[in-house]
A = this chain, B = another copy of it.
Amino acid sequence: MDSRQQLLNKSNEAKEIFLPHLSVDPVIFGFDRNELKVLLLKMNYRKQWLLPGGYVRKDEDLDETVQRILKERAGVTDVYLEEFGVFGKKNRSEFYFEDFDETLFHKQRFISVGYYALYHPDRFNLVHDELSETCEWVYLSKLSEIELAMDHRDIIEKALLTLREKISYKPIGYNLLPEKFTLPELQKLYEVILGKELNRGNFYRKIKSTGILQKLDEKRPGGAHKSPDLYSFNIENYNKLLNEGLSSW
């Protein structure tokens, strides 16, 4: 079946199941120690890349929508997502389905709710749905080289800005770094997310002053230079800071 027919077949079923005009778009970032990636699908139709988004079932809460869609379209389960923006320009998706007529469910105006999360990519076994030819992690540094559908580039950009703002007042790193890590590794995580180099002395002083780190009686073995100290997170302080924020009054 060609990709056009596939969408036409889905359209009638979609009208039965889903609310009109509403979609969700999850931006799942992956951190693999060196760079940030984002989870994208390449759909059979048009061969452009998209976020693994979808529509809201008439019989489900909105919170359930994004979890169901990630499972169906990417094989991604058990993620904690935060809503970061609603994308509601009236013509945001009109061109994408231009070679269909107005009766196609997918072609109507959609206002899309954006969610984001940041995980270690190893956590997931990606699969793709029947509408897509692949589901992959794409490095943010490669995004300028690919074709992204509709306003999905803007959605990813807004998610990244939200993530950067978030780490200015909430701790990060748990579940992204190994249980024991070095300060250079933690600094690298911040630098990758912020997209800029940080002054080592300032970073060490500031991160230590938060109380979220616990210095271990171990050093990372091997290496040509002085073996670096190992740290782990003080989970109690880490969680306290997650709730209260770094610079609470």
Interface residues in A, total, Cβ within 8 A: 37
Q: Which residues of the other chain, B, contact A111 by a CB distance below 8 angstroms?
A: 19, 22, 56, 62
Q: Which residues of the other chain, B, contact A89 by a CB distance below 8 angstroms?
A: 61-63
Number of copies of this protein chain within its complex = 2
- A21-B21, A22-B22 as given contacts; A247 in contact with B249, CB under 8 Å: no
Whether a CB of chain B sits under 8 angstroms from the CB of A178 is no
Are A61 and B86 neighbours in the complex by a CB distance under 8 Å?
Answer: no
Q: Quote the shortest CB–CB distance from A91 to chain B (angstroms).
A: 9
Q: Which residues of the other chain, B, contact A58 by a CB distance below 8 angstroms?
A: 90, 109
Whether a CB of chain B sits under 8 angstroms from the CB of A228 is no
Whether a CB of chain B sits under 8 angstroms from the CB of A113 is yes
Q: Quote the shortest CB–CB distance from A38 to chain B (angstroms).
A: 21
Whether a CB of chain B sits under 8 angstroms from the CB of A60 is yes
Whether a CB of chain B sits under 8 angstroms from the CB of A72 is no
Q: Which residues of the other chain, B, contact A20 by a CB distance below 8 angstroms?
A: 19-21
Q: Which residues of the other chain, B, contact A142 by a CB distance below 8 angstroms?
A: none
Are B169 and A168 neighbours in the complex by a CB distance under 8 Å?
Answer: yes
Whether a CB of chain B sits under 8 angstroms from the CB of A245 is yes
B-contacting residues, A2-42, CB 8 Å: 19-22
Whether a CB of chain B sits under 8 angstroms from the CB of A236 is no
Question: Whole-angstrom distance between the alpha carbons of A102 and B167 in the complex?
Answer: 46
Q: Quote the shortest CB–CB distance from A149 to chain B (angstroms).
A: 19
- A20-B20, A109-B19 as given contacts; A245 in contact with B86, CB under 8 Å: no
Closest to A198 in B: B249
Whether a CB of chain B sits under 8 angstroms from the CB of A248 is yes
Q: Which residues of the other chain, B, contact A121 by a CB distance below 8 angstroms?
A: none
Whether a CB of chain B sits under 8 angstroms from the CB of A138 is no
Interface string of A84-97 (1 = CB under 8 A from B): 01111110000000
Q: Quote the shortest CB–CB distance from A241 to chain B (angstroms).
A: 11
Whether a CB of chain B sits under 8 angstroms from the CB of A206 is yes
